[in-house]
Structure 1
Amino acid sequence: MRAIQYYGPGDIRLEEIPEPIVGPGQVKIKVAWCGICGSDLHLYHGVMQGATPSATEPHPVTNETLPIGLGHEFSGTIVELGPGVDTTRLSVGDNVTIEPVITCMQPTCPACSTHGTRNLCARSAFIGVSGRGGGLSEYVVVDQMLAHVLPPGISLEVGAMMEPLAVGWHAVKKANFKAGERALILGAGPVAILLLEVLRVFKPGWVGVSGRSKKRCQLAEQHGASAVFNVATAGVDVVSETLKATDQLGADVVFDCGGNQATMDTATAAVRRGGTIMNLAVWSTKPVVDMTTLFFKEVALANSVIYADDHPEMLEALGQGRFGDLSSLITRRIPLEDFVEKGIKALINEKDQHVKILLHP
C-alpha cells in the first residue's frame, strides 16, 4: 500500500509498504481522510522529544524506530475484524473515527486504570507520531478501543476532525463550563475554532475570540463567536473589550490556545475574580506567570492535555446535531502526493489562508 513515511526532520517520503495485518482485538481501517496537525509541522522541522523514536532508539511503547507512518487525525471504514473484537460495537463496513493515543493499559497504572485519566499515562504514544502506522496511508490497524463509530449522516471528512474536536471537548469539560457563562478564547487556530464549536454546545452567555489571521477571525465569526478581536489590527485591546462585554467582571473562563507570554498576560488580566484560565497550548518557552495577581483574584490556573474517554459523549452530541457546519473549516483537500508541497508548506507559508487541510489516501 502507499503510505507517507517519516525518516526524520525534512525527510518525508511517499512509499510502497506492506499492508498491516490485523491481530487479536484489532480492526483494519481503510483510511478515508487524514488531517494535518500542528504536530506534523513540528515533526517536519524536528523530532518531538519523548513522542518520536529515532533511527536507533525505539519508542518505549510502540518499540518502533524510524521510519514511522505519519498522520493521527483520521477516519475510515472498517474492512476486517481481528479475533476477539466486540461485534456488538464494531462491524465490517462501519465508518469510524480514530482516537490515536496509545497508553500502557497496565492494571498497575493509575492513569490507565481510572476512567477519564488515560491521557495522563506516563508512557503515552500516538499513532502517526510514535509508530503503529498512521492515517497518511491506505490502511491502518488499530486496537478496537481506539475506533469509534460515526453517527449516521456524519461524513468521513468531518470524521477526520474528531481528534482536534475532542481536544476542545476535554478542555471545556475540565473547566466545568456551565450554560450562561462567558468565555474568552485566545488564539484562532484550528483547535481554537473547534473549541468555539464545543462551547456553543454548552450554551455560553458570551464567547470572545482573539486572533491574528483575517481569514481565521472571519471563520470565528461564522462559527458563532459573540465578538472577534484581530490583534494584528492597531488599537485592538482584548482585555478592555472583554471587560466591556462582561459588565467589567471579566470572562468566567479564558482558554489559552496561543501559548505565549502575550496570551498569558491577556488571560491574567481578562479573567474574572474567582474564574479559571485553562491552558490548551504546548509552550515552547517558559512563561512568566503573575502569581500575585492570580492569587488576589483567586484564579484557578489549569491545563488540559488532549482527551480521555471523551469521544463517546462528544460523538453523541454530534449525532444530535448540536454542532455547526464543521466541514466549512476544511480549506483544502489533497492526495498523498501533495502532502509536503500543498499540505505542510501551505500551512507554513500560507498559514493565514488555512484551517484544516485533509488528505485522501
Structure 2
Amino acid sequence: MKAARYYDRGDIRIEDIPEPTVEPGTVGISVAFCGICGTDLHEYLDGPIFVPPHGHPHPISGEAAPVTMGHEMSGVVYAVGEGVTDIAPGDHVVVEPYIIRDSVDTGPDSTTYHLSDDMNFIGLAGHGGGLAEKIVVARRWVHPVGDIPLDEAALIEPLSVGFHAFKRSDAKTGDFALITGAGPIGLLTAAVLKAEGITVAISEPSELRRKKALDTGVAAHVFNPIDTDVVAEVKALTGGKGADVGFECTSVQPALDTLFDAIKPTGVIVVESIWGHPASLEMQKLVLKEIDLRGTIAYVNSHPETIKLVKEGKVDLRPFITGKIALENLIDEGFETLIKRNETAVKILVDLSK
C-alpha cells in the first residue's frame, strides 16, 4: 500500500509498504481522509521533534524514522480483531492517535494519560499513520462517528485539541476570549468557544483566515495585527478590563506578547501551539497582573464530547476544509502550500478514499 514516510527534516517520501495485520483487540481501518497538521509541518521544517530519529527507537513503539505520518484521520472499518465486539466492518470512525504504555490508566475517568511517561502519537512515533491506505489501531483509540461525513470527521482530532484547550482555560459562558492565530487550531478552538457561549476575538494577519473566522461565525471580532492595535481594541470591547482568557495558536513571539498585554489581571493564557524554538517571557507582566499561563497538549478523553458537539450541530466543520489533495501531491500541494502560502489555506485534507 502507499504511505507517506518521514525520514528526516525535509525528507518525506511516498513509498509502497506492507499492509498492517489485524490482531486481537485491534481494528483495521481503510483511511478515507487525513489532515495535514501544524505538528507535521514542524517535523518537516524543524524535526525530528516527536518522530524518533533514525537509530533511536521510541521506548513504547520500538520504532524510529522512517515512520508513516498522519494523525488526523477518518476512515471505514474493514476488519476487527478477536475480542472486538462493539465495532463492525463498515462503521465510520476516527482515531485518537495515542501511543501510551499498556500500564497507564486510559479509562473514561482518567484525566492524565496524555501526560504519561514517553507518551507520543500514532503517525509520529510509529504504529502506522493516517497518510497511508490502511491502518490498524487498538480498539481503545477508535471512536465511531456515525453519520458525520468522513471528510469533516478528519477534523475531529484537531477540534478535540481546541476542546481540551477550552477545558484547560476554565472559561465559562459569557467570558471574552482572544485567540492569536486563525489557523486550523485557532479557528477550531474558536468554534468550541462559541458553542460554549463565549465571545471570541481573533488576531490574524491572513486576509483569507480572517474572512474564514467571520464567514463561519466562530469569531465576533477579527483584527489584523499588522495595522490594528489589538490590545486597544480588546480593551475597548471589554470596558477597559481586557480579555478573560487568551489562546496562543501561532508559536510566534509577537502573538504571545499581545496576549500578555490584552489579558485582564488574573486572566488565563493557554498556549496551544507547538514551539520549535524558545520563546521569551516578560516575567514582570505575569507577576504584576497575576496572569495564569497554562500549557495544553492534545486531549484527554475529549473525543466523545467533541464528536457530540458536531453531531448536535453546535460545530460545523465543513467550512474549514479549504483543499483536498492526492497522497502523491502531499509535499507540493500540501506542505509547500501551508509553509509558503499559508494565507491561502486553512485545512488541507489528503484524500485516500479513491
Partner of residue 308 from structure 1, selected from 300, 323, 329: 300
CA RMSD of aligned residues (A): 1.7
1:335-357 per-position Cα deviation (integer Å, ceiling 9, x unaligned): 11111111111112211101111
Deviation at 1:66, TM superposition (A): 2.4
2:133 matched residue in structure 1 = 138
Give the partner amino acid of 1:4.
A
Equivalent position SS for 1:30: strand
- Preserved CA contact (<8 Å) 1:62 1:125: no
Q: Does 1:125 align with 2:124?
A: no
* Correspondence list, 1:47-62, <5 A: 47-49=47-49, 51-62=50-61
2:349 matched residue in structure 1 = 358
Partner of residue 167 from structure 2, selected from 173, 192, 198: 173
Q: Does 1:67 align with 2:58?
A: no
Q: Distance in 1 between matches of 2:26 and 2:131?
A: 19
Deviation at 1:32, TM superposition (A): 0.2
Aligned residues: 351
Q: Does 1:147 align with 2:142?
A: yes
Q: Distance in 1 between matches of 2:338 and 2:306?
A: 27
Deviation at 1:114, TM superposition (A): 6.6
1:208 matched residue in structure 2 = 201
- Preserved CA contact (<8 Å) 1:151 1:318: no
In structure 1, runs of 5+ residues without a counterpart are none
2:210 matched residue in structure 1 = 217
Q: Distance in 2 between matches of 1:47 and 1:259?
A: 15
Deviation at 1:133, TM superposition (A): 0.9
1:72-94 per-position Cα deviation (integer Å, ceiling 9, x unaligned): 11100111011112x23x22111
Q: Distance in 2 between matches of 1:299 and 1:66?
A: 40
39-48 vs 270-279, which moves further? 39-48
Deviation at 1:176, TM superposition (A): 1.3
Q: Distance in 2 between matches of 1:113 and 1:48?
A: 32
Give the partner amino acid of 1:199.
L
Give the partner amino acid of 2:214.
E
- Preserved CA contact (<8 Å) 1:54 1:65: yes
Equivalent position SS for 1:83: coil
1:193 matched residue in structure 2 = 187
Q: Does 1:93 align with 2:93?
A: no
- Preserved CA contact (<8 Å) 1:97 1:149: yes
- Preserved CA contact (<8 Å) 2:108 2:301: no
- Preserved CA contact (<8 Å) 2:178 2:202: yes
* Correspondence list, 1:1-361, <5 A: 1-49=1-49, 51-85=50-84, 87-88=85-86, 90-107=87-104, 115-152=110-147, 154-204=148-198, 206-224=199-217, 225-232=219-226, 234=227, 236-324=228-316, 326-361=317-352
Equivalent position SS for 2:143: strand
341-350 vs 192-201, which moves further? 341-350
Deviation at 1:297, TM superposition (A): 2.3
Deviation at 1:55, TM superposition (A): 2.5
Q: Distance in 2 between matches of 1:112 and 1:261?
A: 37
301-310 vs 258-267, which moves further? 258-267
Deviation at 1:7, TM superposition (A): 2.1
1:60–1:149: structure 2 CA closer, same or farther, 3 Å change rule? same
Q: Distance in 2 between matches of 1:81 and 1:163?
A: 22
Give the partner amino acid of 2:29.
I
Deviation at 1:126, TM superposition (A): 1.1
Identity, % of aligned positions? 39
Q: Distance in 2 between matches of 1:147 and 1:28?
A: 10
Q: Distance in 1 between matches of 2:284 and 2:337?
A: 42
Deviation at 1:177, TM superposition (A): 1.3
Give the partner amino acid of 1:308.
V
Give the partner amino acid of 1:243.
K
1:239–1:185: structure 2 CA closer, same or farther, 3 Å change rule? same
Deviation at 1:316, TM superposition (A): 1.3
- Preserved CA contact (<8 Å) 2:216 2:319: no
* Deviation beyond 4 Å, 4+ runs, structure 1: 111-114
Q: Distance in 1 between matches of 2:183 and 2:99?
A: 25
- TM-score w.r.t. the length of structure 2 is 0.95
- Preserved CA contact (<8 Å) 1:112 1:121: no
Give the partner amino acid of 1:173.
K
1:113–1:177: structure 2 CA closer, same or farther, 3 Å change rule? closer
Deviation at 1:261, TM superposition (A): 2.5
- Preserved CA contact (<8 Å) 1:196 1:223: no
Give the partner amino acid of 1:26.
T
